Amino acid sequence: MKKINEPEMLGLLTKAKNVLLVEPCESRYIPLGLAKIATFVQKNGGRVEFNVPCKDHDLVAFSTLFTYDSEVYRDALAAIRATTDAPILIGGVCASLAPKLLEGQVSMFDPGEQYIFGGSSPVLDQCVPDYSLPWGDRDGWGNKSYTFTSRGCVNRCAYCAVPRIEKVNGGVGLWTVPNWREHIVPDRPCVLLDNNITTTGDHFAEVVEVMTSLKKPIIWENGIDCKHVSPEQATLLAQIKWAGNGLRIAFDRISEDGIFQNTVKMLMEHGIYHRKIMSYVLYNFTDTPAEAEYRLMECVKLGIQPYPQRYVPLMQPNRNNIYVGKHWTKRLGIAFQHFGIMGKFRVKGTWKKFVTFSEFAQRSDIRLKFKLADEDLALLKS
């Protein structure tokens, strides 16, 4: 496998006239990288097909996502190589973070020309995704439009792939997609994917203005940064027509205790209905169950929906032996996710009476359901 840079990758795409787009593992979103490649190839006079058997294609564009699906990617690459000699261009998250995981057993087949493109491409990012290809319904997510108006992030959180993939001039940073307005498709529900737009100053205000003018439900999927929301920004955000839970924020670390709650209260004081806000709550990282429970219950008390998000290492090579944080057990982690996502923090039939995760986990039916042993429950006290 040969690593190539952006001009080399674009050179392959420009030369190709008949490109097969392959998404080996279907995810919730359409494969945005492939959708942008489709636009780029067609602009250059080529044609594309998505997830069909390989025939006379002169290039295969292959997308990867989570590293823990690398076995699936290797098998799919081997299957493609068994049917065609066409060059294969591999991109996406796994290709960027852990290209070595994609190397197959070379002795079993000739890998031929395989190119790895790591990172994001500012040129492709300016291509409006081609929504006309048969991406599938994806539980309703296949019918939405997806927009990055900016790429990258000013932060470098240890658990996040964004600053490692979406680099600006090789370093940490954030850049604006110049033609982002063209990416808003008026007849589709809009999902904004910016990673940290509250740090983008005037650009933030421009994006909110456009979102407000759409007058249709918006999902701001990757959320706003609780440290960087000003009262002026809260005023602007309150003008958007939010989808249910459409405004996302995060309470991922205890160091943001207080800041997070104040920001959520400010958003609500400026007119954003509490049920329009959802907060990611990272767990299974360096936190203890008690600390994760605290962050989750703070969301509950504020009236917003928590979404417990289990930490998985960026380089997790497969789905076996998924990482367990040092203060967690696998069983406890599964029970915690169920507790948060299924709304088990509420006393059944009530809105304002809550049970803690500790109380929930100690119920005999829950112990049985999640096979919780005494050693799991002992961790709740630490």
Q: Which residues bind ligand SF4 (CB under 6 A)?
A: 153, 155-157, 160, 162-163, 195-196, 225
CB of 87 to ligand SF4, least distance (A): 33
CB of 158 to ligand SF4, least distance (A): 9
Instruction: Give the count of alpha carbons within 13 A of 39, CB side only.
Output: 16
C-beta closer to ligand SF4: residue 114 or 309: 309
C-beta closer to ligand SF4: residue 160 or 254: 160
C-beta closer to ligand SF4: residue 51 or 155: 155
Q: What is the DSSP letter of 188?
A: S
CB of 196 to ligand SF4, least distance (A): 5
Question: Quick one: which of 362, 346, 319, 333 has its CA closest to 69?
Answer: 319
| Residue recorded with tokens 């967690």 | 328
Beta bridge partners of 116: 3, 90
C-beta closer to ligand SF4: residue 195 or 284: 195
CB of 186 to ligand SF4, least distance (A): 27
H/E segment holding residue 84: none
C-beta closer to ligand SF4: residue 225 or 293: 225
| Residue recorded with tokens 């808003």 | 184
C-beta closer to ligand SF4: residue 225 or 376: 225
Main-chain dihedrals φ then ψ at residue 43, nearest 5 degrees: -65, -30
User: What is the distance between the alpha carbons of residues 46 and 281, in angstroms, rounded to a whole number?
Assistant: 44
Q: What is the DSSP letter of 216?
A: S
CB of 248 to ligand SF4, least distance (A): 11
User: What is the distance between the alpha carbons of residues 370 and 365, in angstroms, rounded to a whole number?
Assistant: 9
Cβ proximity of 190 and 218 under 8 Å: yes
C-beta closer to ligand SF4: residue 50 or 311: 311
C-beta closer to ligand SF4: residue 280 or 294: 280
Instruction: Give the count of alpha carbons within 13 A of 221, CB side only.
Output: 15
Beta bridge partners of 152: 174
What does the block give as tokens for 126?
Answer: 């300016």
What does the block give as tokens for 300?
Answer: 């509950």
Beta bridge partners of 242: 218
User: What is the distance between the alpha carbons of residues 178 and 180, in angstroms, rounded to a whole number?
Assistant: 6
User: What is the distance between the alpha carbons of residues 246 and 241, in angstroms, rounded to a whole number?
Assistant: 9
Residues in the chain, overall count: 382
Q: What is the DSSP letter of 168?
A: B
